[in-house]
Amino acid sequence: MTVLTLTRVTQTSIACPAQWDAWDEAGNYYYLRYRHGYGAVRQYATPDWVTADEDQLIRHVASFEHGDGLDGSISLEEFCARAGIALAPDVVRTGFGDHLRDELVTEHGWTFLLKGQEAGS
């Protein structure tokens, strides 16, 4: 049995849930999520599976239970170990802070307005 090995991982939430977008060497996309003491790895056809018109789920790769129903925080390394998947030795990681900055700041500045701020200011 071949172990799924991730080559690129972006943390999209720190806790409640802890979650990551991940890709393997072939460019396949995986969604990793841990909440309420339950972890799951799912493969989707696209990272935009939430807003897609059709069901984009390809398969459930792995799941595990750890902790209790209030648990929602786990490190990526522990998540992978419990799910039976691996990180490539040269895995490219984007932490939550870097991901959030990339989502909120564009070449034109912040993508949202602060209270009392007008567009273009």
Rounded to an integer, the average pLDDT of 103-108 is 58
- Predicted confidence (pLDDT) at residue 42 exceeds the cutoff of 70: yes
Rounded to an integer, the average pLDDT of 75-103 is 88
pLDDT digits (tens, 9 = 90+) for 73-84: 999 999 999 999
Separation of alpha carbons 112 and 19, rounded Å: 23
The residues, any chain, with a CB within 8 Å of residue 86's CB and separated by 6 or more, are: 3, 4, 5, 6, 80
**pLDDT at site 79:** 98
Separation of alpha carbons 41 and 118, rounded Å: 42
Rounded to an integer, the average pLDDT of 8-18 is 94
Nearest C-alpha neighbor of 42 from the set 1, 92, 4: 4
**pLDDT at site 54:** 83
Rounded to an integer, the average pLDDT of 92-107 is 71
How many CB atoms neighbour CB 118 within 10 A?
6
pLDDT digits (tens, 9 = 90+) for 44-68: 999 988 887 888 999 999 999 999 9
Q: Is the pTM of this model over 0.95?
A: no
